[in-house]
Amino acid sequence: MGDRYAYVIATGRTEIEAKKNALQAASEIKFIISNSSDDESNN
């Protein structure tokens, strides 16, 4: 299956605020992994 990556770009009034915003956004990312045969049956 290989590696999966996600990038988060965030802004803030300061570097610390931007990092805090990025970490919050990253915590909300969900990876949904499904079997490819499941995907084909849903089309």
- pLDDT tens per residue, range 1-43: 678 788 999 999 999 999 999 999 999 988 888 887 765 566 5
In three-state secondary structure terms, 40 is helix
**Inside any domain, residue 43:** no
**Inside any domain, residue 22:** yes
Amino acid at 40: E
Q: What is the pLDDT of residue 22?
A: 97
**Inside any domain, residue 15:** yes
Dist. CA 10–CA 27, nearest whole Å: 13
Range of the domain at 17: 1-37
Dist. CA 9–CA 7, nearest whole Å: 7
- Tell me how many domains the chain contains: 1
Q: What is the pLDDT of residue 43?
A: 57
pTM (two decimals): 0.61
**Inside any domain, residue 7:** yes
**Inside any domain, residue 9:** yes
**Inside any domain, residue 42:** no
Dist. CA 43–CA 39, nearest whole Å: 7
In three-state secondary structure terms, 20 is helix
